[in-house]
Amino acid sequence: MSGGGTSVAVLGTGIMGSAVARNLLEAGMEVRVWNRTREKAEPLGAEGAQVADSPREAARGSRVLITMLSDADAVERAVGEGVLETLAPGAVWLQTSTVGIEGTRRLQRMALEQGVAYVDAPVLGTREPAEAGELVVLASGPEEVRPDCEPVFEAIGKKTLWVGPVGAGTRLKLVVNGWITGLLGVLGETFALAERLGVDPSSFFEAVEGGPLDLPYARVKGKMMAEREYPTSFSVRLARKDVALILEAAGSLRLPVCEAVAYHLDRAAEAGRAEDDMAALYEGVRATSG
């Protein structure tokens, strides 16, 4: 399957899905899109995508199905509307949402029941890398469908890691998300401590500048915290969902840092920040101060 002329259905055109669809269009692919709230998909129509009224309409005859939705339940609802049986023969389903271990098993079963090749392919990156086509794809699935996936992954990402059979991509994504959310939690507490001690946050960055503790990620999220402005790249609500998936996967393994991050995210949501960027975790930390 070459890039040009490849027919792709994208279910879910939020921040990430709309960026993915645009990059597929730019790569010369035929793209059909669907979103539960049609208004979020309509701008893509002006850019060359076909906007469908239902997931089934979007998927009909497509060689590739991409799901980029909030969680496993949302994916199951969308795909469960008779979508898989309408795909072209030999089609492949690229499941790019972060759905956790049990969610991945559930969705893979749906694919197996319809004889559709399933690739577990969560991505690393938020709004900016998605828009730039610089996501990192953590792909896992059948070896034989890799050539069908490559044009799509090249269009949306800067790097693809094939990490094993279905489920391996999701496990790696949970590990990376544990690192990301842990950093976010520590950063939020660091800024709250700076505020309590009367330290200008810019002094913190000056102190670590140029060394191994100077992380670009911390600067991006720290700027939001310092300004208390949180334009959304990835929301508090979705970050909390991902932390729940990490804790569920950990089972009997205690992860106190993740538990603390969950607590801060819950406080941020209670403060009305659920749809703000996950850097608004800082507001959750501040909300607990006496």
- From 280, 279, 260, select the one nearest 270 (Cα to Cα): 280
Query: E strand or H helix at 246, and its extent?
Result: helix 236-250
Name the DSSP class of 145. G
Q: Quick one: which of 13, 47, 10, 51 has its CA closest to 152?
A: 10
3-state helix, strand, coil in the chain (%, to 5): 55, 15, 30
Tell me which of 40, 173, 221, 223 is the catalytic residue.
173
Please give the Cα distance from 58 to 87 (Å, whole number): 9
Chain-centre distance for alpha carbon 229: 22
At 280, list the tokens.
Answer: 């608004």
Token code pair at residue 114: 């319809």
Residues 49 and 28 sit within 8 Å (Cβ to Cβ) = no
Task: Indicate if 223 belongs to the active site.
Answer: no
Tokens of 95: 């499941």
Residue with tokens 């790569």: 27
Virtual CA dihedral for 93, 244, 78, 43, nearest 10 degrees?
-90
The residue length of the chain stands at: 290
Please give the distance of CA 262 from its chain centroid, rounded to a whole number: 18
Enzyme catalytic residues: 173
